[in-house]
Amino acid sequence: MTFKTTALEKRNWTMVKIAEEKYDHLMIKIINSCTTSDILEELTTLIFDKAILDPTFCPMYAKLCSDICDKLPTFQPTEPGARIVSFKKVLYNLCQSVFEGAEEIKELRVYPSDQKEKEMMLKLQTLGNIRFIGELRNQKVLLGADEKICPPEENVEALCLFLKTIGKKPLRSKWINYAYLSHLKTVSNHPQLVTPQKYMIWETINYLRFNGWP
């Protein structure tokens, strides 16, 4: 059984087919190769693009994300006042961008010139994104693996912003909608979560319910 994933060759990310028995070796190579924030962002973007444009491999890409997300380094921002750069943060932003409308993602990677083909590509991206989000949820990537652990502040903010962006229209899968709301409620009651973060979560929950979430 083979699947498509990423390899770094002279700091340029390329897609290759590898045998499943080489998965661990590739994962170590990816982790060791992420030495800068630029490489981390390129890697995350490449995985995301391939996952949403080829949904057949969504489960495998989601598993890859799960296996590397806590092992990849984080990087300090290059601009004053900016947030740290992390794999999860970049992944949140990419998932969010698809829901922010066609105008913001027309610049993505490889679009054909024909308008109808562009619209079809955008539709495929949106559907692929929804499936990828579901698979990431299965792998506990977007929501966190252990609800007993208080999530970092930047993760709470990123998740709330992400859900507000997609919250104007509930995801087609009701169980995904329910899973996100249930997780938010659990996190909001964590004793170590600071008050501003709790208010942010409850504001997000109210916003989602106003827009028809369960």
Residues 6+ apart with CB under 8 A from 70: none
Structure tokens at 4: 């498509």
pLDDT(199) > 80: yes
Residue 202: Cβ-neighbour burial (10 angstroms; 0-12, 13-18, 19+): middle
Judge contact between 99 and 133, C-beta under 8 A.
no
Task: Report how far apart, in Å, the C-alpha atoms of 173 and of each of 87, 178, 179, 213 are.
Answer: 25, 9, 10, 11
pLDDT tens readout for residues 119-128: 677 777 777 8
Residue 108 has pLDDT above 70, yes or no: no
Q: What percent of the chain has pLDDT over 70?
A: 64
Domain 2-142 listed as CATH 1.25.40.180:
yes
The residues, any chain, with a CB within 8 Å of residue 115's CB and separated by 6 or more, are none
Closest CA to 136 of 68, 189, 71, 201: 68
State the span(s) of the chain assigned CATH 1.25.40.180: 2-142
Confidence of residue 33 (pLDDT cuts 50, 70, 90): confident
pLDDT of residue 11: 36
Q: Tell me how far apart the alpha carbons of residues 214 and 211 are, in angstroms, rounded to a whole number.
A: 9
Q: Does position 65 have pLDDT exceeding 60, yes or no?
A: yes
What's the pLDDT at 151? 62
